[in-house]
Amino acid sequence: MASRDVVTYKTPLSRLLNVVIVIFLAFYLVWTVLPLFLMFVSSFKDLLAAFQLPPVGAFSQIGLFFDFAPTTKHYYNLFYNLDFSTYLMNSIIAAGGSAVVSVVLGSMAAYSLSRVDFRGKGDLFFWIISTRMAPVVAVLVPLYAIFRGFDLIGTRTGLILAYTTFNLPFAIWILKGFFDNVPFAIEEASMVDGSTRFQAFRAILPLVAPGIGAFIVLCVLFAWNDFLFASIIGSGGAKTLPPATRELVQPQNIQWGSIMAAGVVTTVPMMFLGLLIRRYLVTGLTMGAVRE
The HSE-up count of residue 276 (CA atoms within 13 Å, CB side) is: 10
Q: How far apart are CA 152 and CA 149, in angstroms?
A: 8
Nearer of residues 180 and 188 to other proteins, judged by Cβ: 188
Q: What 3-state class would DSSP assign to 241?
A: helix
Dihedral sign computed on CA atoms, order 211, 187, 123, 161? negative
Nearer of residues 202 and 279 to other proteins, judged by Cβ: 202
Tell me the closest approach of the beta carbon of residue 198 to other proteins, in angstroms. Answer: 12
Phi, psi of 68 (to 5 degrees): -160, 165
Nearer of residues 83 and 188 to other proteins, judged by Cβ: 188
Q: How far apart are CA 271 and CA 269, in angstroms?
A: 5
Nearer of residues 130 and 196 to other proteins, judged by Cβ: 196
Tell me the closest approach of the beta carbon of residue 191 to other proteins, in angstroms. Answer: 5
Q: Are 199 and 116 in contact (CB under 8 A)?
A: no
Nearer of residues 48 and 192 to other proteins, judged by Cβ: 192
Tell me the closest approach of the beta carbon of residue 204 to other proteins, in angstroms. Answer: 8
The HSE-up count of residue 5 (CA atoms within 13 Å, CB side) is: 3
Tell me the closest approach of the beta carbon of residue 184 to other proteins, in angstroms. Answer: 9
Give the binding site for other proteins (CB under 8 A).
183, 185-186, 188-196, 199, 203, 206-207, 292
Tell me the closest approach of the beta carbon of residue 207 to other proteins, in angstroms. Answer: 6
Instruction: Output the furthest CA–CA distance in the chain (Å, rounded).
Output: 78
Nearer of residues 159 and 208 to other proteins, judged by Cβ: 208
Q: Are 166 and 132 in contact (CB under 8 A)?
A: yes
Tell me the closest approach of the beta carbon of residue 154 to other proteins, in angstroms. Answer: 44
Nearer of residues 87 and 179 to other proteins, judged by Cβ: 179
Nearer of residues 83 and 193 to other proteins, judged by Cβ: 193
DSSP string, 106-170: HHHHHHHHHH---TTHHHHHHHHHHHHHS-HHHHHHHHHHHHHHTT-TTSHHHHHHHHHHHHHHH
Tell me the closest approach of the beta carbon of residue 291 to other proteins, in angstroms. Answer: 12
Tell me the closest approach of the beta carbon of residue 284 to other proteins, in angstroms. Answer: 15
Question: How remote is the C-alpha of 180 from its chain's centroid?
Answer: 25
- DSSP letter assigned to residue 78: I
Q: Are 156 and 97 in contact (CB under 8 A)?
A: yes
